[in-house]
Structures are given as structure tokens and as C-alpha cells.
């Protein structure tokens, strides 16, 4: 079997167009990501996931989604449950830690079931960013809490719930997006905190969950790490902080390369992210010309990246213990008793 290209792509709409199918067949990306523009009915969305996998000829090609709950949810009512944002779970944890952890695990099982209903097997959750007073609203109530320890505990519970139902979690935005005061979709955030302070706070949740299989970078520049490059495209940042201090040896995805935090062409961004040590370049908007440019500047996954991908699949298989329809119904009832406004 040939090794796929070290990229993940989006597509333009709720159905796969013939030219997209041909492009994906030839480009052979590792997998795909769905956004709201791709989501219609459960049946139509599931057909899209199947068509994407058929295009690359791999039934196990990962299909990702951002299904956090709250503002960041691609699967929404009336077809899918309205799930709480991370801060609601964090507030419950602050009142009753055991209840907060239970609710987080149950919620993630239900999120996983929604993902699987449309053929999605990777959920970009949990968010391990800390809520600081200056945290930009792009994170806002997506953050569980304002201290690293509860963030790590709730992130672990969220990941466990996803893994149990057979969905891969992605910890994000490594090594921490909480101190950003601008939206990295629009500009590059610059963080001036000292390295020791970052290690005590921002980096700690990721260090505590460094055994998880997948992570996504944040597009931030840390003066104390590399004053010249955002972490995503910083060899020093990936080597010394993500792989070194944090100790993460799983599959490392860039955040979306089409975000405006990174300069240069899309091809430049992809090439630099992979050269810095990201395993996979992520491009989300489904624009054909941009994807073609990225495909022209990237190659197959490295041996280390492919090993990390396979190791992640094995870890998911070991953790999988699905609740089944009856168990999921009970999970929903129990979650409603813990968070009545979200039942």
C-alpha cells in the first residue's frame, strides 16, 4: 500500500463533485475534514463521507469534524443534539468535580455517536486552552476553565468518552491558545509571557495529556520560544516545546493553513509546517486552486508520521467500548440529570 500525502483537505459542498473526486484520487490526501457547508441531512452527509473515502480508495481514510458543542458545532439541530460548550462542563466541575467529569465523558460519548452517524471518525476535541482574562472571544467559552489542572482533567474525560465510542480525539491548540488577544483566523497572535510561566500554565494541560494519539497546533508566536515564527512553522517550537517539553509523540496536525495568522502562499505554509515537524498539513476551505497548490508542494507522509498514524489507530481500537443504543439513551438521560438545561 502506498503512503498517503501528508495533508487533510476539505471539499466545497454537501456532495462530492466529479472534479473534486478526480483531484482527491490523484492527490491521495490522508483524509478529509467536514464543515457546516458540507452538512445537510444525516443520510446526505454520510454519503459524502463515503464518497470521500471512495475517492482515495481507502475505507479507513479519516474524516474529521469540529464538533465541540456550543458555538463550534457543525452537526446541529434538528438532526443532531445541541451540546454544551466546554465552559458549562467546567462550571459544573467547579461545583462538583465528580459530576463534571461524568457529564464530560457522557457528553463526549453522545458527540461521538453523532459523528459516527455521518461517517466521521475524528472529532477535533478536547480544547485544552486556558481561559485567561485577556483570552480572545475566538476561544471564549470553548475553554473549560481558567487553571491548567481542571482543563487537563476535563480534557482527559472528553477524550475518554470519544475513544470509548470509537472516535479519535484531537487535543488542541497545542501548546496553548489561551493568551492570544487576537483571532488567529485574522492575524498572528503574539504571546510575550516568560517560558517558565508558559510551562506552569499554558503548556501543562498538553503535557498531562501527551499520551493521546492526535494533536493540532495553534497558530501563535511565542517570544520565549521562537520570536521569528509561529509554532506551526517553527522547527524550534515543534522540537523543543511540542515534542520536547510537552513530550507529545502522536500525530501532529497543523491548524487550518488558510487562516490569516500565517503569511506566504498556501504552498509555502504547507511546506513550512511539514518542514517544522508537523506530520500533516490541514487545509479546510475546499478551494480547488489552493488545494492544488498545496498538493504540488507536499509529498507522502514521513515514516515517523505514518507510524504515529498507525499507532493512533491501534490505540483507538484498544480503547473502544461502545455503549450501544440503550447505553447511549441512558447516557443522554443521565446527562440531562446533571445538566438539566442541556438535556
- Residues belonging to the active site: 185, 255
- Separation between Cα atoms, residue 277 and residue 85, nearest integer Å: 31
Distances from the Cα of 123 to the Cαs of 68, 120, 128, 159, 332, in angstroms?
Answer: 8, 8, 14, 9, 19
Within its chain, how far is the Cα of 106 from the centroid? 19
- Separation between Cα atoms, residue 31 and residue 17, nearest integer Å: 17
Rounded to 5°, the CA angle 250-252-254 comes to 170
Structure-block grid coordinates of residue 150: 481542571
Burial class (CB in 10 A: 0-12, 13-18, 19+), 134: exposed
Task: Provide the strand spans (E) within 175-261.
Answer: 190-191, 214-217, 221-222, 251-253
Return all residues near 229 (Cβ < 8 A) that are at least 6 apart: 221, 236, 237, 276
Residue with cell 476535563: 154
- Separation between Cα atoms, residue 114 and residue 110, nearest integer Å: 6
- Separation between Cα atoms, residue 43 and residue 303, nearest integer Å: 36
Q: Please give the helix or strand (H or E) that residue 272 lies within, else none.
A: helix 266-276
What values do phi and psi take at 31, rounded to 5?
-170, -155
Amino acid at each position: 500500500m502506498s503512503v498517503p500525502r501528508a495533508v487533510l483537505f476539505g471539499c466545497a459542498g454537501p456532495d462530492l463533485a466529479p472534479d473534486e473526486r478526480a483531484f482527491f484520487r490523484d492527490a491521495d490526501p490522508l483524509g478529509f475534514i467536514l464543515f457546516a457547508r458540507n452538512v445537510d441531512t444525516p443520510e446526505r452527509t454520510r454519503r459524502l463521507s463515503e464518497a470521500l473515502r471512495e475517492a482515495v480508495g481507502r475505507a479507513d481514510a479519516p474524516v474529521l469534524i469540529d464538533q465541540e458543542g456550543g458555538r463550534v458545532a457543525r452537526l446541529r439541530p434538528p438532526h443532531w443534539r445541541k451540546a454544551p460548550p466546554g465552559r458549562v462542563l467546567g462550571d459544573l466541575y467547579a461545583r462538583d468535580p465528580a459530576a463534571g467529569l461524568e457529564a464530560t465523558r457522557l457528553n463526549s460519548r453522545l458527540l461521538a455517536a453523532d459523528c459516527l452517524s455521518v461517517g466521521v471518525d475524528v472529532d477535533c476535541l478536547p480544547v485544552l486552552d486556558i481561559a485567561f482574562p485577556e483570552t480572545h472571544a475566538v476561544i471564549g467559552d470553548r475553554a473549560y476553565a481558567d487553571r491548567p489542572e481542571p482543563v487537563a482533567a476535563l480534557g482527559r474525560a472528553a477524550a475518554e468518552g470519544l475513544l470509548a465510542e470509537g472516535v479519535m480525539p484531537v487535543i488542541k491548540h497545542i501548546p496553548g491558545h489561551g493568551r492570544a488577544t487576537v483571532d488567529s483566523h485574522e492575524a498572528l497572535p503574539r504571546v510575550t509571557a516568560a517560558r517558565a510561566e508558559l510551562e506552569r500554565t499554558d503548556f501543562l494541560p498538553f503535557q498531562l495529556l501527551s499520551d493521546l494519539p492526535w494533536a493540532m497546533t495553534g497558530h501563535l508566536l511565542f517570544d520565549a520560544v521562537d520570536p521569528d515564527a509561529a509554532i506551526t512553522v517553527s522547527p524550534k517550537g515543534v522540537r523543543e516545546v511540542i515534542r520536547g517539553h510537552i513530550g507529545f509523540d502522536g500525530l501532529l496536525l497543523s491548524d487550518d493553513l488558510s487562516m490569516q495568522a500565517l503569511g506566504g502562499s498556501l504552498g509555502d505554509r504547507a511546506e513550512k509546517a511539514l518542514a517544522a515537524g508537523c506530520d500533516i498539513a490541514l487545509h479546510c476551505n475546499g478551494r480547488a486552486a489552493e488545494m492544488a497548490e498545496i498538493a504540488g508542494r507536499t509529498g507522502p507522509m514521513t515514516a515517523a508520521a505514518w507510524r504515529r498514524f498507525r499507532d493512533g489507530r491501534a490505540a483507538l481500537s484498544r480503547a473502544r467500548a461502545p455503549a450501544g443504543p440503550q447505553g447511549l439513551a441512558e447516557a443522554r438521560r443521565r446527562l440531562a440529570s446533571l445538566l438539566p438545561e442541556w438535556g
